[in-house]
Amino acid sequence: MSDSLPTTGLIGLGLMGEGFAKRLTALGYPVVGFDILADKVAAAARLGATAAASPAEVARRADIVLMSVTTTAAVADVIEGPHGILSVAKPRARVLVDLSTTEIETTRSLAKRLEERSSIALVDAPVSGGPAAAKEGSLAIMAGGREEAIATVRPIMEKLGRFTHMGSVGAGQATKLVNQTLVLTNYCVMRKR
């Protein structure tokens, strides 16, 4: 990366990903985006993002990749699928930030494979706040990962919200689990009144 803004890859351009695309392109970040739905890619292109045909292409063209998909299986496919990040012999990306809410053990396992096979560090950083907060840059972001990876992505992540490093890989997912448990408990208590 140079002194200019890093090229940022976005994998998953649904409600949250679209918000990230709007925010980052408005701030002047070069964005490369991919989604399994062509209309989502086209919508991101209208915002100023460059379209990519696969997660592999995003990893070849971006310095930092942000992923926001709906399931643990989708996260695994983005990383290990036939056109996934691990299919790239020499990715440009050095860090993959998983903004999805997924299973802790799978997160740790995928992080290990990424590091061993591609030298890409994984930061698990599930978010709280929804699509409007993604567009406004006011999300709560709970991150797990190595210090060096956290330092690399902190400048861009702080443009998306309050970015807090919680510990090693998996700590972001664990914190989100606690957060959701507290939210649900509070909801149940309020409904009893």
| 9-39 b/e (C-beta count within 10 Å ≥ 16 → b) | bbbbbeebbbbbbbbbbeeebbbbbbbbeee
Q: Which residues 6+ apart lie within 8 Å of 80 measured at CB?
A: 86, 110, 113
- Residue 86 phi, psi dihedral angles, 5° rounding: -70, -10
| Phi-psi sector, 123: left (phi>0), alpha (psi -120 to 50), beta | beta
> Which residue among 22, 40, 176, 192 is the active-site one?
176
Using an 8 Å Cβ cutoff, are 65 and 85 in contact? yes
Q: Among this protein's residues, is 40 annotated catalytic?
A: no
Catalytic residues: 176
